[in-house]
Copies of this chain bind each other. A is one copy, B any other.
Amino acid sequence: MHAIGVDIGGTKIAAGVVDEEGRILAQTRVSTEPDDASSIDRAIAEVYAVLSRDHEVGAVGLAAAGFVSPDRTSVLFAPNIAWRDYPIARRVGALLGDDVPIVVENDANAAGWAEFRFGVGREATDMLMLTVGTGLGGAVVVGNELVRGRWGMAAEVGHMRVVPSGHYCGCGHEGCWEQYASGSALVRDARAAAISRPREAAYLLDLAEGVAEAITGPLVTLAAQSGDALSIELLADLGRWIGEGSASVAALLDPELIVVGGGVGAAGDLLLKPAREAYAEALPARGHRPEARIELAALGNEAGIVGAADLARL
């Protein structure tokens, strides 16, 4: 059975027809208005109309950046889109005309599921996905099942606390993992180093034309790839936090695979090697157990579409 997956972003939606092997057969995208929930509904109906014209579609999956109700029909709350207890499946259903099942999933869950089913995790049964972008999101698969939690809020990995009295987080708490293992953390650490370690930061500052505020994550990665010692150290620190936090998750869930996705993954082994070392050092009962692999995500930006479509079929 083919399904349509829709990845709903703040300002555009991307959608595709996905077959049972996770291949995208056709794809389209439309601009939307984040402050107007009904405009998003209409946009989804529009892409459905376009894609279902040439393809027989048995289900529609929506990947939404927000908290999704346990029955997978509504978005309870979204930080960047005007959804508050919004029955999106029903609203979109009313616009489609067809009587096709529609399910909503959290976007990080959808992307993680795609990785599990068709990407680097396709041989695994128990997997942790970490999406290391601006923030730190994730997905958890236990015994071949996506973990949604009792109220659909599972896999908020970025808000596990790793440092008591640690960095402030936008969530109102201190020491959240995403304040140490994310692109934002990398950028802030790099800018801080420009102040506290000006000599070591000279190359990075050069790249940023002397403006600390112009240092970005890709710039740090670029500098590290050119051999800049500070940038290598900054990525290694980030990798270390990824590895150490993953070891805590492994104490709880014993996965066989930890997948690192998101923009920061571009740093490759500069990130992964320190992550693996830190994971191995921090893993409980090491030596008495097999050790999970830590790998880069294999799928790209379409993971949300693919995962949402596949989850809609289940």
Contact = CB atoms under 8 A, between A and B. Distances in A.
A192 interface: yes
Interface stretch (A5-13, A35-43, A157-165, A298-306): A157-165
Interface string A150-178: 11111111111111111110111110100
Interface of A: 67, 76-77, 124-126, 140, 142-143, 145, 147-168, 170-174, 176, 180, 188, 192-199, 244, 247-249, 251-256, 280-282, 284-290, 292
B252 A154 contact: yes
A152 B159 CA distance: 26
Contacts of A196: 171-173, 281, 286
Given A164-B164, A248-B160, A125 B153 contact: no
Contacts of A148: 143, 254
A254 B154 contact: yes
B188 A168 contact: yes
A281 to B, nearest CB: 6
Contacts of A154: 252-254
Contacts of A285: 67, 77, 153, 156, 159, 171
B198 A252 contact: no
Contacts of A124: 150
